[in-house]
Structure 1
Amino acid sequence: MNLPAVIGCDFSSAPSRRKPIVVAHGRLVSGRVALGHIDTFDSLDTWAAWLAQPGDWVGGFDLPFGLPRELVEHLGWPTEWSACMDHYAALSREQIRAQFAAFCDARPAGHKFAHRATDGPAGSSPSMKWVNPPVAYMLHAGVPRLRAAGVAMPGLCAGDPRRVALEAYPGLLARELLGQRSYKSDDKAKQTPERLIARKDLVEALEQGRTRLGLRLKLSHAQRDALVDDASGDRLDAVLCVLQAAWALTQHLAGRSRYGLPESDPLEGWIVSAA
């Protein structure tokens, strides 16, 4: 049986040559995930053009696919996912920031942001954050292009069953293996020997299959060196998303619905492989 490819996308809402969108390609082979090539896209348009091409893949995308229900209801936005995403896409980033900031300003310290149900088990940032990291803008830039490309987004919308997009979060796997150790930074002054060692340890653990996903990463020597040497961690994050996509494919092959996603709020969505 020819299995679909598995891909992982480390996303940026403002890609550039210095900080592109990174897409890693792999294959699931007998409990191992063999890493293939890695593509980079320095604009949203080139990424969207790739996304729209015919293909046969299951992908993990490191960007939120939904907003917290508490936030959406407070703002009086549509509570059906497609309508909510239409409304959100029509806003400017300035309008998003102003409305989200007003929501936070009215709330007590320590409870400024609304969270999705998946944030707890995944350890992810609330999808309404517009800084550090600007995941609200990632949703604003990424989800409309995923929808325009006609991909299937299980639990959220139907689409091409040969191109399946799932929300992934590389920090989920990285934290499982490294705890709170940092392994990356875009700031050159913070690209320390300690972070280099953490990347080496992370790659070694992935090759040994030490995550609860039960999958081992298969790399060439050159691929291993490239992942360790990328101090930004972008390529490694894309590979972590590949592993989450591969786990989802194993769930699908085992007959589990929605690629292993649990029943969840159809407005908020869920991060693949989060408990």
Structure 2
Amino acid sequence: MSASPALPDPALPTPLLLGVDFSSAPRPAKPIVAAWGRRSGAVLKLDSIEALPSLEAFEALLRTPGPWVGGFDLPFGLPRELVEHLGWPTDWPTLIHHYAGLSRDQIRETFAAFCAARPVGAKFAHRACDGPAGSSPSMKWVNPPVAFMLHAGVPRLRAAGVHLHGLQAGDEQRVALESYPGLLARELLGSRSYKSDDKAKQTPERLIARKDLVEALEQGRSRLGLRLKLSHAQRDALVADASGDRLDAVLCMVQAGWASTQPNFGLPARLDPLEGWIVSAVPADA
């Protein structure tokens, strides 16, 4: 793990901020969504939102020159318990290389066999960050298929040479952190749902929840202490997107904005270098 950076030098340029709502199988109808912004003090200004219809477009995004700090909504690691049980490499770069060489069918079959041998209520192995973040286990292959998101996304992050803090050194002008929009959304909305890809579930209640979530972000009501600055058109577009993909990208950008102000990018000092960590999640023993 690399040394903890100092707080940002005010004489240096403030990095751009990036938030990415990732898909392992992007297409024009369901693209990867990237939100770009910048921080001025405690204010985050949303500059633009991009739709990336392919993994090739995602690769091009990663080559954007820095300085930038990005929050990516996909798991960067697998549970140590799972890796050790399977006898896979326990060195993170070697593990990711091994994982990238598997097919999705092989991943599904391997993980399903692991789960089948375990008792009800403890089928999946978890990373240390899952509990504090409220995130799905990164070995889950359906609803949501985060195991495939890791498979599609992390090898591309490595190939792009970005700096994966705590996992693998790279270009420190392009910093990639694991983000999870649900962590910030739950802080502001509780258990209320604000999105669905199912048109039948795109209800007035979810519309109201998106309005409330955007308002809370603009007022800076989260523990991250940052206020989101939007134009009227941007606000309307975030609220109108019933899938929540644009809003999720912005939530990841806000988490990246917080991380950009923190020593060690806000990651715990005792981060497991195999599992990684979700930015802004608070360790259980903190």
TM-score band by shorter chain is over 0.9
Q: 2:159 — aligned with what?
A: 148
* Structure 2 CA distance for partners of 1:80 and 1:42, relative to 1, 3 Å: same
- Percent identical pairs in the alignment equals 75
Distance (whole Å) between structure 2 residues aligned to residue 53 and residue 217 of structure 1: 23
Shift in Å, 1:167: 0.1
Among candidates 267, 270, 280, match of residue 261 of structure 1: 267
- Cα distance in structure 1, aligned partners of 2:65 and 2:261: 22
CA offsets 1:169-191 (integer angstroms, 9 cap, x no match)? 00000000111100000011100
Aligned counterpart, 2:216: 205
Task: Pick the aligned partner of 2:116 from 102, 105, 123.
Answer: 105
Matched residue, 1:185: 196
Measured in 2, the distance between the counterparts of 1:54 and 1:179 equals 37
Equivalence map 1:84-233=2 (5 Å): 84-233=95-244
Q: What is the CA-CA distance between 1:47 and the residue it aligns to?
A: 1.0
For structure 1, list consecutive stretches of 5 or more residues without a partner in the other structure.
none
1:274 to 272, 277, 281: 281
Taking the aligned partners of 2:68 and 2:39, their CA distance within structure 1 comes to 11
Please tell me the residue identity of whatever aligns with 1:16.
R
Equivalent in the alignment of 2:8: none
Unaligned runs of 5+ in 2: 1-10
Could you tell me how far apart the structure 1 residues matched to 2:83 and 2:205 are? Answer: 41
Paired with 1:200 and 1:218, the residues of 2 have a C-alpha distance of 15
In structure 1, what residue type is equivalent to 2:220? G
Secondary structure at the aligned position of 1:266 is classed as coil
How many residue pairs match? The answer is 270
Query: Residue deviations 1:214-266, cap 9 Å, x none?
Result: 00000011000000000000000000000000000111xxxx2x211002110
1:193 CA displacement: 0.2
Matched, 1:65 2:76: yes
Measure how far apart 1:14 and its partner are: 0.2
Instruction: Find the counterpart in structure 2 of residue 240 from structure 1.
Output: 251
Q: Write the deviation string for residues 67-95 of structure 1: whole angstroms up to 9, x where unpaired.
A: 00000000000001001001000000000
Equivalent in the alignment of 1:31:
42
Aligned-partner Cα distance in 2 for 1:169–1:246: 13
TM-score by length of 1: 0.97
Q: What secondary structure does 1:250 align onto?
A: coil
**2:26 alignment partner in structure 1:** 15
**Coordinate RMSD, CA, aligned:** 0.6
Distance 1:34 1:46 in 2: 24
For the pair 1:74 / 2:95, whether they are aligned, the reply is no
- Taking structure 2 as the reference length, the TM-score comes to 0.94
